[in-house]
Chains A and B, each alone.
Chain A
Amino acid sequence: MDYNVLIGGAAGQGIDTLSHIFGKTLKRCGLYVFSMKDYMSRVRGGHNFIQVRFSDKPLYSHDEKFDAIIALDSDTINLHAKSLKAGGKLILDRSLSDNDAYMSFDFKEIAKECGNPRVAGTAAVGVLLKLFDIPLDISHTVLNDEFKGDVLNANLKAIDTGYNMVKQVFNVPLEKKDDNIYISGNEAIALGAIAAGVKFYCGYPMTPSTSVMTYIAKKSRDAGIVVEQVEDEISAINMALGASYAGVRAMTGSSGGGFALMVEGISLAGIAEIPIVITEVQRPGPATGFPTRTEQGDLRFIIHSGHGEFPKMVISLRSPEDAFYQTARAFNIADKYQIPVILVSDQYLADSGVTVKPFDFTKIRIERHISGDEALENGVYKRYKLTESGISPRIIPGKVEGATVLIDSDEHDELGHITESQDMRVMMVNKRMKKLKLLKEEIQEPLFMGTENPDILITCWGSMYGPVKEAVDMLLKDGMSVGALSFGDIWPFPTKLIKKYGKFAKMIIDVEQNATAQLDSLMRENALIKADEHILKYDGRMMSSKYIYDRISEISKASSLY
């Protein structure tokens, strides 16, 4: 069982809320859900849609064809009716079309009768629920969580009215108990940060990164977190570094444009050796680019962010579950090595809602690596003490009586004072770069999926994990010898598995949501492995598993492999 539904309309018509109600109702019925947002950079009008895919098995990405569509505007009909599967249903208000092939209702009239013209879409969701025979009372629990008072009553009436107007069409076996959560990538990052004890978050709103800050802000009072909206991203990174220096876990985040403004601050974190976690939720650039769309175009920019040479870690996020655990891990790594750690996501992962197992908070360890007066030598504290590992003991200003902590953006001596010495310069560069060596032992190799030692090896990174995972499953069913490496940790670049599988593979196909195959360039540079073929997409819309499956089938047929 694998169904796919689209809800489309203009900005301001409540598409977000409707799909949330529908998705959460499905989840509470014990189903697995994957929802994907496609929206324009505007507050009213235009055409937005959300796809909600659901199944009795876990889902990892979106699909392209639909079993049902709710059209709240005529664009939805014009753009998406052709994507209906055979036997698929298009639900709309009678005013939009008189085509008999569609299921037309007087939703506007119903909404008026329910006492609120804004609940027309809710009535359409009622119709949708009945078509799939989803229990009405479960949808009521969701509405109860979303609305209050008269608005709640109008919504309840509307969903009931819609539900009672049609008969069941599709068969959805409801056998499992609901024990999952339904969460987006950005919310998972926020939750991971809160679990890891972030105490200070500052940022400037930028789509599609903003909802990380929004969720943390919602919990700030309860969790004792300070969230500050700053004047610009330059302030964001410098303020977060100040907070970290003063002793708490601090975080900032943005999308590509805002991250670009933070870059000098990342360099400061490098030389001053201040732990910091930064999220970069990519959207297509250059410059303002495609504000609400998705791309994986910033990878090399992020890896190279910051002038000068210094260690940093870059972790790309695969899924909400991965986002939660990796965010928490990022704080430990930042604290351990006193470096910037950058989490890389994108609009696809940021805005997609996925059902996953509830996160295990007992797995989250807090490792702060902070010293006390044992770090003093004859009463003196050396912030940049030269050590075997390159890591200097870190104390918090004001917490060790008689000791002061001096950090410096200039090249400095062990005490943190400005130096012009060439010997000291070399020692300090070596000290910092030693940390990179240690860090290489810390990195996680990519996740391997598929047949062991496959003929066709797919490579991907970050959020491409979901579509590739499903594509591999489809290809395996066709009897193909195929496997995939999904990179999470991406800098320092893990080379072991790509070397291992790359040697055996007859063909390497690199799959990325960008124009320049940036992962492939990293493989060539760091592992001397080169992809033979590329599947690249940079139209701002995430490739689906079906898209990848079709391309790989074509490529393999065209080659002499199959």
Chain B
Amino acid sequence: MNTAFETYETAWCPGCGNFGILNALKDALNELGLKPHQVVIASGIGQAAKIPHYINVNGFNGLHGRALPPATAINIVNKDLKVIIDSGDGDTYGEGGNHFIHAIRRNANIAHFVHDNQIYGLTKGQASPTTAKGQKTSLQFDGVILDPVKPIKLALTMGAGFVARSFSGNYEHLKKMMKEAIMYDGYALLDIFQPCVTFNRVNTFKWYNDRVYELPNDYDYTDLDNAFKVADEWGDRIPIGIIYKVEKPMYIDNISFLKDGPPLVDAKYDPIMAEKYLDDFR
């Protein structure tokens, strides 16, 4: 019987930034008083996407880049489930980029945790959409020539209601951000810096530790202009915390029978109910 969240042995490299994320996730879920059968983690493919195998939750470990569409549907079909996505930067901003844009528009109730290590781990060290320009990789031998995706700014531009950043090396902060994202009503993006100890020699624990700082308590995260400024901060100092948060109607709020009725999964099946539609053809 699954009554509390626990973690299992993983296939990650020793020292991987994913461990911090898995621990914070387990503790966040337990502290929120949730039960394993009430939570679904959807994921794509990549080291981060293996998380449904390492913690006792419902899991939809689908295709590369495709965590968002099933996660959206799971929320629509059963609003009583807590839907979380754990996937990487390649999965979310590369292969799944189109879904990312449109998931924000849909605003289903999903906490989206992006394990952003700025590199491809599972395929051994190629550039990811967030790898810094100029960085040499196992494929971009002369350095990356493309500008990186800016996930925070992109999410803000698309109108996301909850945009936050954290760091897997800061357990307390990360756990807090995860809880905030899970409890937020709507689509919540949490971009998590996650050092890849094997393939990214630039963005190490030290690199992040030297740069990240927590947004001050008096930071007004409801101010979009502020949020855009903070989103642009990159270099010697990189802010973490809730960058933007406002209330917005969720997907199911726009469909009255979903909003006011029981979850779709509890709907009854009765073919005779549809017989009246024959009148359209008489």
Q: Report A's interface with B, CB cutoff 8 A.
A: 28, 178, 181-183, 187, 191, 194-197, 199-200, 202, 219, 221, 223-224, 226, 228, 230-232, 234-236, 238-243, 245-250, 264-265, 268, 272, 328, 358-359, 361-362, 364-366, 368, 379, 396-410, 416-418
Name A408's contact: one of B57, B59, B68 (CB within 8 Å): B59
Tell me, rounded to whole Å, the shortest Cβ–Cβ distance linking A221 to chain B.
Answer: 7
Contacts of A178 in B (CB 8 A): 282
Question: Is the Cβ of A239 less than 8 Å from the Cβ of B73?
Answer: yes
Identity of the chain A residue whose Cβ is nearest the Cβ of B252 in the assembled complex: A226
Counting from the closest, the 7 A-B pairs by CB-CB distance are A242-B70, A242-B73, A364-B271, A246-B77, A197-B269, A238-B69, A181-B281
B275 within 8 A of A: yes
Closest-by-CB residue of A relative to B41 is A406
Quick one: which of A199, A264, A358, A368 contacts B63, CB cutoff 8 A? A264
Chain A residues whose CB sits within 8 angstroms of the CB of B52 once the complex forms: 406, 408
User: Could you give, for residues 66-102 of chain B, a 1 whenever the CB lies within 8 Å of some chain A CB and a 0 otherwise?
Assistant: 1011111110111011000000000000000011011
Are the CB atoms of A231 and B81 closer together than 8 Å?
A: no
Residue pair B59, A238 in contact (C-beta under 8 Å): no
A248–B78 Cα gap in the complex (Å)? 9
Q: Which chain A residue has the least Cβ–Cβ distance from B55?
A: A404
Most chain A CB inside 10 Å of its own CB: which residue of B257, B261, B265: B265
Contact of A226 among B2, B35, B255, B274 (CB under 8 A): B255
B3 at interface by CB-CB < 8 Å:
yes
A400 vs B282: C-alpha distance when bound (angstroms): 44
Within 8 Å by CB of A272, from B58, B62, B258, B277, lies B62
B58 touches A397 (CB 8 A): yes
Residue of chain B at shortest CB distance from A179: B282
A397-B81 contact in complex given A235-B102, A245-B74, A409-B61, C-beta closer than 8 Å: yes
Give a binary string over B270-282; 1 marks a CB under 8 Å from any A CB, 0 the rest.
1111110110111
Q: A195-B274, A248-B267, A403-B2 are in contact. Are A235 and B78 (CB under 8 A)?
A: no
- Whether A407 contacts B60 by the Cβ 8 Å rule is yes
Chain B contact residues: helix, strand, loop or mixed: helix
- State in angstroms the CA–CA spacing of A416 and B70 once bound together: 17
Whether, in the assembled complex, B53 has its beta carbon less than 8 Å from a beta carbon of chain A, the answer is yes
* Complex contact B42–A242 (CB within 8 A): yes
Whether a CB of chain A sits under 8 angstroms from the CB of B45 is yes
Chain B residues in the interface with A (C-beta under 8 A): 1-3, 11, 35-38, 40, 42, 45, 50, 52-53, 56-63, 66, 68-74, 76-78, 80-81, 98-99, 101-102, 106, 255-258, 261, 264-265, 267, 269-275, 277-278, 280-282
Taking A221-B256, A398-B37, A418-B50 as known contacts, 15 extra A-B pairs with beta carbons closer than 8 A to each other, sorted by chain A number, are A191-B277, A221-B257, A226-B258, A235-B66, A235-B69, A241-B70, A243-B74, A265-B66, A268-B62, A358-B282, A361-B275, A397-B37, A397-B81, A398-B80, A407-B62
Q: Which of A219, A234, A366, A400 contacts B277 (CB 8 A)?
A: A219
Q: Is B277 a contact partner of A200 (Cβ separation < 8 A)?
A: no
Structural contact, A402 and B3, CB atoms closer than 8 A? yes
Bound-state Cα–Cα, A365 to B57, Å: 33
Q: A196-B271, A230-B69, A402-B1 are in contact. Are A246 and B59 (CB under 8 A)?
A: no
Q: For residue B277, which residues in chain A have a CB less than 8 angstroms away from its CB?
A: 191, 194, 219
Kindly report which residue of chain A lies nearest to residue B273, judged by CB atoms: A223
- Chosen A-B contacts, 23 in total, with CB atoms closer than 8 Å, are A197-B267, A219-B274, A221-B256, A223-B274, A231-B99, A235-B66, A239-B72, A240-B73, A242-B70, A246-B81, A249-B269, A250-B73, A265-B66, A268-B63, A358-B278, A368-B269, A396-B265, A399-B265, A406-B53, A406-B59, A410-B61, A418-B50, A418-B61
